[in-house]
Amino acid sequence: MVEQKRPPKSRGFYVKMKLLHKHGRPQQEKICFFRYYKWILWFSLSLYFFTSYLISNNPNGKPTSLHKTRLSNAKSSVVSRALFEPINVTAPEQAIGTPGLLKNLKVFVYDLPPKYNTDWLSNARCSSHLFASEVAIHRALLTSDVRTFDPYEADFFFVPVYVSCNFSTVNGFPAIGHARSLMASAVQLVSSEYPFWNRSRGSDHVFVASHDFGACFHTLEDVAIADGIPEFLKNSIILQTFGVQYKHPCQDAENVVIPPYVWPESIRNTLEKVPATGQRDIWVFFRGKMEVHPKNVSGRFYSKRVRTMIWRKFNGDRRFYVQRHRFAGYQSEIARSVFCLCPLGWAPWSPRLVESVALGCVPVIIADGIRLPFPSAVKWPEISLKVAEKDVGKLAKILEDVAATNLTTIQKNLWDPRNRGALLFNNQVQEGDATWQVLRALSEKLDRSYRSSRVSRELVTDT
């Protein structure tokens, strides 16, 4: 299935891993020349780019915001070509964008036995439910131009393990009790069969942990905290939906906060039925679990009782459309709403964040201290509202004030396609989309790349 997909072009250095391991590193010398060559090219392009930046800049001082926008648009359009067309290094105009934005990043994707990943796809939900970024990122990387088949030229190593697809036969929720052992087994395999884990102690290896509390692999925060991140993952890079602005054991590893998975096709289908630019006849919308009397689960209450407050206080309010039961067509309701409440559940994040932005409903985030995905690409303060958990009772007043003052501005900002784009994972990487933002974030962590650090060391010793 997914594994059979290969990038459209064949790379010169395709080597089957096992083979490479057995025969040592003869490829190393061969690619040496290319490495220097590329580096010099990269340097001259950077210089070119830097000078053109200076030229296009406002000579009177700070660049105007218009300038900035134009510049980033110009950069972006170049990158999109570089990402999707094979790069001919002798034709500089095709390669400009890649070193600029993704810094010539190279990612090697381990080809693990299917029991770690694709076997789980026999259940169709595995690739579409809210934790499915573990599948989506893997898929997108397989056909991406940053993928390299030569692990010796890779900056990062992606370890594709799907841990969220063991759906409970009782309630249908993903059971993640097996997640630690499945991850441990993958790390064991990778570190014993290939040399790359040991040489960096896993620090250039990348994992997805897309459920409630990331690599702590438990739904309940107190258990998640007590368990912590397994030792064998602590040195690696975790792509996780969980993120808070304060110290937390479940983000105690290098990490990138990623959006929860929402199937892009479902958004397109909804927008065909209910255009997001149409009339919004629901003022405030929330649909989801709201316990009237939340249970005390080992000292914790679901949603810290925030959702209970919403139900009790606003259920009778005509302006609030709050529903406690599942409804398959809920996305159309979001597309018809002005404000969409995104209160915490067990964890601070929820797929509503993505669905609201994608369908043009202003997200009202009620989750103290939440760290939101891709803050450099998605200008969250300009497109959403944050309401403190303690202020949830004052929601109506707060939203009335916004409606009377800056709602139009927020809605206009929200409808910028770049925001929507950055939160959705496509099957193939598209410039600016969620997987692309992950790559961008990784390109900021090249100091962890064994290859990059060694290349710069070699250059230092040579001069």
Ligand X SMILES: *[C@@H]1O[C@H](CO)[C@@H](O)[C@H](O)[C@H]1NC(C)=O
Interface with ligand X, residue 411, by CB under 6 A: no
Interface with ligand X, residue 356, by CB under 6 A: no
The residue written with tokens 């000292």 in the block is 299
- The candidate with the shortest Cα–Cα distance to 438, out of 107, 82, 160, is 107
CA angle centred on 187, ends 183 and 189, rounded to 5°: 115
The residue at minimum Cβ distance from ligand X is 178
C-beta closer to ligand X: residue 221 or 433: 221
Q: Considering the complex, what minimum distance in angstroms separates the CB of residue 10 from ligand X?
A: 11
C-beta closer to ligand X: residue 3 or 382: 382
User: 368 to 407, contacts with ligand X by CB under 6 A?
Assistant: 382, 401-402, 405-406
At 158 the three-state DSSP class reads strand
Q: Considering the complex, what minimum distance in angstroms separates the CB of residue 351 from ligand X?
A: 22
Please report the beta strands in 265-386, taking only residues with DSSP state E, as ranges in sequence order: 282-287, 296-297, 300-301, 320-323, 337-343, 362-366, 385-386
> x/- string (CB under 6 A) for ligand X, residues 202-241?
----------------------------------------
Interface with ligand X, residue 94, by CB under 6 A: no
Among 26, 59, 61, 299, binds ligand X (CB under 6 A): 299
Among 290, 410, 414, 439, binds ligand X (CB under 6 A): 410
Among 17, 41, 175, 396, binds ligand X (CB under 6 A): 175
Among 88, 269, 277, 315, binds ligand X (CB under 6 A): 88
202 forms beta bridges with none
Interface with ligand X, residue 73, by CB under 6 A: no
Interface with ligand X, residue 168, by CB under 6 A: yes
Q: How many residues does the chain have?
A: 463
- The candidate with the shortest Cα–Cα distance to 432, out of 422, 423, 441, is 422
CA angle centred on 187, ends 186 and 188, rounded to 5°: 90
- The candidate with the shortest Cα–Cα distance to 360, out of 392, 343, 342, 336, is 336
What is the layout of strands, in order, in the sheet containing 205-209? Answer: 107-109, 156-158, 205-209, 237-240, 254-257
Interface with ligand X, residue 122, by CB under 6 A: no
Which residues are near ligand X by CB under 6 A? 88, 90-91, 166, 168, 175, 177-178, 191-192, 195, 198, 296, 298-299, 382, 401-402, 405-406, 409-410
